[in-house]
Amino acid sequence: MSGDSDEVLGSVGPRLRALRRERGITLADLAAVTGVSESTLSRLENGQRRATLELLLPLASTYNVPLDDLVGAPRTGDPRIHLKPIRRFGMIFIPLSRRPGGTQSFKMIIPARPEPLEPTPQTHEGFEWLYVLSGRLRLLLGDRDLTLSPGEAAEFDTHLPHWLGSADGGTVELLILFGPQGTRAHLRTAPGRSPHGETQQ
């Protein structure tokens, strides 16, 4: 039993490192958010520090994942997926994929607003693919201003300046796939400026 526990705990470090890199967070940023020192986080990721509940709880909270995911605990047979919304830049992202790294899928909700947001196009590495479930999506892509209705999809290189918003002020729901760089651009948790000009807290 002890050997099994050591094996599980030994896999925590690589899992934490992969999750941090997926989110585009530096050790310094993570230390500031969790209150755990940068050196402790580094040793934890490198396997030089044993994972404890005291260290893992703030990390699970920051990454918004179940504690079981950090330690790689086996599933109990419950097939249900417990989705936890992520709120960023006035939008809601519901992760639909769980494996760190690679393309990530989300359900994205753009809430209704009495006044539309001022478009602030951004660029970054990667690609995005989206499919409108409901509402009318406004997509600015380079010099094109497009409106997508339910059932319409778009795929684009994110080197092009782009911005997503509601075309008529109503709620928009869509499925969206991000390449790794796109995930970092949209879901990073480090303090800074958002793509929509809002300051992250």
Per the CB < 8 A criterion, the answer to whether 31 and 45 are in contact is: no
What pLDDT is recorded for position 66? 74
Count each helix (H run) and each strand (E run) in the chain, helices first. 7, 9
The stretches in the chain having pLDDT less than 50 are 1-8, 75, 182-185, 187-201
Cα–Cα distance, 76 to 53 (Å, whole number): 20
Q: Rounded to 10 degrees, what is the CA torsion of 86, 89, 91, 94? A: -20
CA angle centred on 120, ends 116 and 121, rounded to 5°: 125
Could you tell me the strand order of the sheet in which 86-88 lies? 86-88, 91-95, 104-110, 172-178, 127-134, 153-157
pLDDT score of 83 = 63
User: Hunting for tokens 């300051």 — which residue is that?
Assistant: 199
pLDDT tens-digit series, residues 34-89: 889 999 999 998 888 888 888 888 888 787 777 777 766 554 555 555 566 777 77
* pTM, two decimal places: 0.52
